[in-house]
A = this chain, B = another copy of it.
Amino acid sequence: MKISKPTLILDKEKCIRNIQKMVKKAADSNVIFRPHFKTHQSGKIGELFREYGVDKITVSSVSMAKYFASNGWNDITIATPVNINETDEINNLAKNNVINLLITNVEAIEILENRLTNKVNIFIKIDTGYHRTGIAFNDSESIDKILSLISNSSILSFCGFLTHSGHTYSAKSIDEIKDIYNDTVKKMQSLKTKYKDEYPDLILSLGDTPSCSIIENFFGIDEIRPGNFVFYDIMQYMLGSCNIEDIAVSMACPVISKNADRLEIAVYCGAVHLSKEKILDKQNNTIYGLIVEFKDDKWSQPVDYTYLKSLTQEIGIIKTTESFLNKVNIGSVIGILPVHSCLTADLTGEYHTNENEIYTTMRKEFYE
């Protein structure tokens, strides 16, 4: 493998397998599959989803909605509390696309009503326990106020309740993820029970990658929106959401230095390539990634007793064993499985697939 600088390699087979699996799971449970495209941010990777019938997506910014709309996606949920400073862009998008916005407060509804001329759908963002944003599931007063404002609008249509159980990422076990999922569903269902007579078509939308990977049956909800599963990463592996073989991206990078006394290898690959996301491994080491070896166009299992122990702007330091240190030379190319593939992907301008294609990302295409 000829690599001169940090290069994000995409194993297409693994990526497609991850997509297929989630498509099938959603179909088996008869729920809408609206994958979150913030993880890959690439039109070309979007096409891989389209081949499996996906036609609804989730994004995390208006800019990302514009990017994917320009790639032919026309049913888009912007899954962050609506940014009223971008109402012009939202209005433009809503001209030719189904745009679903998230509301967490009354003020935003009033502003949208005043500024938009094209119709949009409104999800009320519900807080079921993550406590990042959203209206508490039992705050009927706020929900009723918002629903009443929407019902008086000719521009805004209420489409359902949406939540993100991001606290699954702090779970200590698979059982805890299941508990969080079940608790989330219960809280969301209480809303459906309450409002379904008035809004028979209302959708319950939820589903982070840990939950969607671990739960087998999405009975009682209407839509799932996982994103990270397209690549997975070390964080998901540690949570139990995936096997190590499911991780579909790895950063190929050259070895620039070795230290036999400390059993350390320095690579040209830093925080500007991987992000500074870190995690505790099973031995309680703080790690920034696990190390793999390339063989032809595939990579190995993680190298034993070897991990990325620190990361500065452009340099990574790998802690390893004598045998791996001796195997590796200055200029050798090794791979790093990222802790958080969304942030790593965001930092790259392109994926190099193991089928010799280059898939550019939004970051690169926007600048071009």
Range class of the A interface residue count: 35 or more
In the complex, chain B residues whose CB is within 8 Å of the CB of A330: 84, 105, 107-108, 111
Chain B residues lying within 8 Å of A165, measured Cβ to Cβ, are none
A91 within 8 A of B: no
Contacts of A166 in B (CB 8 A): 312
Give the shortest distance, in Å, between A2 (CB) and chain B (any CB): 8
Query: Which chain B residue has the least Cβ–Cβ distance from A82?
Result: B256
Contact of A5 among B38, B61, B105, B276 (CB under 8 A): B61
Cβ contact within 8 Å between B259 and A133: yes
A133 touches B80 (CB 8 A): no
Chain B neighbourhood of A327, CB < 8 A:
none
Does A364 sit within 8 A of B, measured CB to CB? Answer: yes
Q: Which stretch of A67-75, A233-241, A290-298, A341-349 is in the interface?
A: A341-349
A307 within 8 A of B: no
Contact A256 B83 (CB under 8 A): yes
| Minimum C-beta distance from A243 to chain B (A) | 24
| Interchain CB contact under 8 A, A331 and B5 | no
Complex interface residues of chain A between 87 and 110 (CB less than 8 A to chain B): 89, 104-105, 107-108
Residues of B within 8 A of A276 (CB): 275-277, 343
**Distance (Å) between the CB of A146 and the closest chain B CB?**
13
Q: Which of A104, A257, A367 has the most CB of B within 10 A?
A: A257
Q: How far is the CA of A271 from the CA of B345 in the complex (A)?
A: 12
A299-331 interface with B by 8 A CB criterion: 310, 312-315, 317, 329-331
User: Does A183 interact with chain B (Cβ within 8 Å)?
Assistant: no
> A133, B315: Cβ atoms under 8 Å?
yes
Taking a contact as CB atoms under 8 Å apart, the answer to whether A81 and B257 are in contact is yes
Per the bound structure, the CA–CA distance linking A364 and B209 in Å amounts to 31
A360: nearest chain-B partner, CB-CB:
B367
With A3-B85, A4-B86, A259-B133 known as contacts, the answer to whether A107 contacts B329 (CB < 8 A) is: yes
Report Cα–Cα, A81/B315, bound state, in Å: 9
Other-chain contact of A85, B4, B81, B131, B346 (Cβ < 8 Å)? B4
Residues of chain B with a CB closer than 8 A to A15's CB:
none
Is A352 an interface residue when CB atoms closer than 8 A count as contact?
no
- By the criterion CB–CB under 8 Å, are A38 and B4 in contact? no
Residues in chain B near residue A329, CB distance under 8 A? 107
**Chain B nearest Cβ from A24, distance in angstroms:** 27
Cα-based distance from A86 to B52 in the complex (angstroms): 40
If A5-B61, A313-B343 are given as contacts, then 20 extra A-B residue pairs at C-beta distance below 8 Å, sorted by A number, are A4-B85, A60-B314, A61-B314, A80-B256, A80-B268, A80-B314, A81-B256, A84-B256, A84-B330, A105-B330, A107-B330, A133-B257, A133-B317, A271-B275, A272-B343, A275-B275, A275-B276, A276-B276, A349-B367, A367-B368
Which residues of A are at the interface with B, using a C-beta cutoff of 8 A? 3-5, 38, 60-63, 80-86, 89, 104-105, 107-108, 111, 131-133, 166, 254, 256-259, 262, 266, 268, 271-272, 275-277, 310, 312-315, 317, 329-331, 333, 342-343, 346-347, 349, 363-364, 367-368
